[in-house]
Amino acid sequence: LTTKTRSLVSELSQPLVDKVHDHKDLLSQLIRQNEDQAKKIDELERTVYNKDEKLTIFEEIYERIAKVESDRKVVEEQMMSDHTTILRRFEEHSFKYESNEKQIRTMIQATEDALVEMAELKANLEGNHKSFMENLEQVNANLIKDISEIRKKQNELLNMHSRLKNKTSDQKGSIDMLVSRMEKVEKKVEAIDQQVVDLTNSKQDRNDFLTNVSRIDQLMGVLEENVYSTKNHCISIDNYLDKYQPVRMQSMVGDTLKACLIGEERRRFELYESDKISLLYKLILDDDGDGSNIQKLIIQLNEKAKHVIEEEEKKNRRRAQALEKNAKISEKGSEEGEEEQEAEQEEEDPRGVASTTRHESTAKTKLEASVSLPTQKGDENTKTQPMMRGSTQTQVTQKESSASMSPAKARRQATLKRGTSIIQSEVETVKLTDLVNSDFSMPANDGDYKISQDQLIKVVKIMLHKINFNYKKSEQR
């Protein structure tokens, strides 16, 4: 082992020793080269000093010499650093070699100790083996005796088993019953154990319970304060909607209608608005902060809206029935004058066509007036209904007198009735969304101050847009 260690150390340190020798040779070679260069420089100096015209060459040579000297110093320093590094590594390897040698000595000593212990263990093992064999022979003799006794007892047990077998067959039925009962009991016990485990897992800790109770008490206090503040806020909102919002609505409606109405209707609306605004302001001055009337007003408005919708549906049904009767009568009149229309159509001048167009436009205007919505006041609703009844009576009278008319007049009357039925069918097919999205136009020189259905819808749209705009501005503030 010592020889192997020494050979290993020599193999590891031999490359470093070779490198050290190589560096020494290289260093000696560089020293010799340096001496040769110094000699050459001296010779060049002697040559240059003898000739004055080569002073520049002399300076150049000196510069080169200085450069070579600096390079030499750098190489020398590098060699010295490499030399110190090699020496340090050599010392490290020497230290490792010494430590390995110490370890080898300790291992040799441990090996010798192990051999001594092994000899002792071998002697002990031989003694133990001898005693074990003696004990084994004694145990074997004892086992033979025990086996003979066990065989006797086995024969006795076999006889007993044959006797007990009959008893076992008798007890088998009762055992099966007991097993079934035991299985049921085990299932119940397992269910009870599972319930106990579930209850144990779901059981809340006392500290957590007390913490949750205190937290709930705090939340209840906060919720009571929030409920109180919310109740006050709702009362304030109800009070505002009951007494202050009508003033804003009336003002916006008034501004919109003033922009749309002119003449007599505008003056009537201004008188109405002055009376209405004074009543609304009186409600504001009598404000006591109680907003409980808003629910009653909502119920009343819902009932009024339902009543108005039912009345409007009844009116539309009556109008549809009247228009169906007019269409049937016009069809009868058109069949009677069908033969004469072809002959008279060639004799008619362009004025007849223009009069027909005027009749159709007049019928369309009457129909639009008949289907227009009622205004806000109740007395105007009562006025529009007699007008509608009067127009219906006029149409019936015209239908009755169509038989006594001339063929040309009968043809014009039939054309007028057909245009009326077409317009009515177009009006009945119009949807509420189309009415809401329809264009609003009112000429400034219009002599008829009645508001049509489209115009009223446009007014409501402008009013709602203004409410929404003011609400958004208030939210931004």
> What is the 3 state secondary structure string of 96-142?
HHHHHHHHHHHHHHHHHHHHHHHHHHHHHHHHHHHHHHHHHHHHHHH
How is residue 12 written in tokens? 């590891």
Confidence of residue 418 (pLDDT cuts 50, 70, 90): low
Does 342 score more than 80 pLDDT? Answer: no
Q: What is the pTM of this model?
A: 0.25
Q: What is the mean pLDDT of the chain?
A: 69
How is residue 98 written in tokens? 């010494």
CA distances from 220 to 204, 208, 214, 231 (A): 21, 18, 10, 16
Greatest CA separation found in the chain? 161
Amino acid at 170: D
User: 148 by DSSP, 3-state: which?
Assistant: helix
CA-closest candidate to residue 404, choices 331, 342, 357, 337 = 337
CA atoms of 400 and 413, how far apart (whole Å)? 12
CA atoms of 331 and 414, how far apart (whole Å)? 8
Task: Parse the chain into domains and list their residue ranges.
Answer: 2-168, 303-427
CA atoms of 415 and 355, how far apart (whole Å)? 11
**pLDDT tens per residue, range 190-249:** 988 888 888 888 777 788 888 888 888 888 888 888 888 888 888 778 777 777 788 888
Are the C-beta atoms of 402 and 413 separated by less than 8 Å?
yes
Pick from 121-130, 313-322, 328-337, 466-475: least confident: 466-475
> What pLDDT sits at residue 397?
42
CA atoms of 81 and 15, how far apart (whole Å)? 18
Our CA dihedral for 286, 288, 294, 296, rounded to 10 degrees, sits at -80
Rg (CA), the chain: 64
Does 131 score more than 80 pLDDT? Answer: yes
Q: Pick 407 or 185 by higher pLDDT.
A: 185
Does 272 score more than 50 pLDDT? Answer: yes
How is residue 427 written in tokens? 């009006």
Q: Measure CA of the first residue to CA of the last residue in the chain; give whole Å.
A: 99
Phi-psi group of 472: left, alpha or beta (phi > 0 → left; psi -120 to 50 → alpha; rest → beta): alpha
Which residues contact residue 366 at a Cβ distance below 8 angstroms, ignoring those fewer than 6 apart?
Answer: 391, 420
> What pLDDT sits at residue 47?
67
User: 47 by DSSP, 3-state: which?
Assistant: helix
CA distances from 168 to 46, 155, 176, 450 (A): 137, 19, 12, 114
Number of H helices, E strands in the chain: 12, 0
> ∠ at Cα 302 (299, 306), nearest 5°?
140
> What pLDDT sits at residue 391?
39
**DSSP letter for each residue of 1-18:** -HHHHHHHHHHHHHHHHH
CA-closest candidate to residue 93, choices 26, 3, 85, 1 = 85
> ∠ at Cα 173 (172, 176), nearest 5°?
85
Which residues contact residue 79 at a Cβ distance below 8 angstroms, ignoring those fewer than 6 apart?
Answer: 23, 26, 27, 30
User: 448 by DSSP, 3-state: which?
Assistant: coil
Confidence of residue 358 (pLDDT cuts 50, 70, 90): very low
**pLDDT tens per residue, range 301-337:** 677 777 778 888 888 888 888 888 887 777 766 555 5
CA-closest candidate to residue 376, choices 450, 438, 315 = 450
